[in-house]
């Protein structure tokens, strides 16, 4: 029987803290984002979903009306 050397979930006052893998996924969701949001869905104290919504602006209306940079 082999033992898994990875640490399990840590609980504090009956609340489970995010695992290293969950924190890495959240960090990866934020990486490279300039404008947007990251939403974390938790069910029964467990992260079950991470949504990333990123906004990309091609040009502002001001640039278009003023004949700004091409």
pLDDT band at 32 (very low <50, low <70, confident <90, very high): very high
Tell me the domain boundaries of the chain: 11-66
- C-alpha distances (whole Å) from 65 to each of 5, 58, 59, 68, 70 are 61, 14, 10, 8, 12
> pLDDT at residue 9 above 90?
no
pTM across the whole model: 0.62
Specify whether the backbone of 32 is left (phi greater than 0), alpha (psi in -120 to 50) or beta. Answer: left
pLDDT score recorded for residue 55: 92
Joined tokens for residue 38: 């990251």
As a whole number, the mean pLDDT across the chain is 83
Stretch 52-60: mean pLDDT, rounded?
88
> pLDDT at residue 8 above 70?
no
């Amino acid at each position: 029987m082999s033992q898994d050397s990875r640490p399990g979930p840590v609980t504090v006052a009956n609340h489970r803290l995010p695992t290293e893998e969950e924190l890495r996924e959240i960090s990866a969701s934020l990486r490279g984002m300039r404008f947007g949001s990251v939403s974390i869905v938790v069910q029964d104290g467990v992260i079950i979903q991470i949504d990333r919504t990123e906004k990309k602006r091609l040009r502002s209306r001001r640039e278009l009306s003023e004949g700004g940079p091409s």
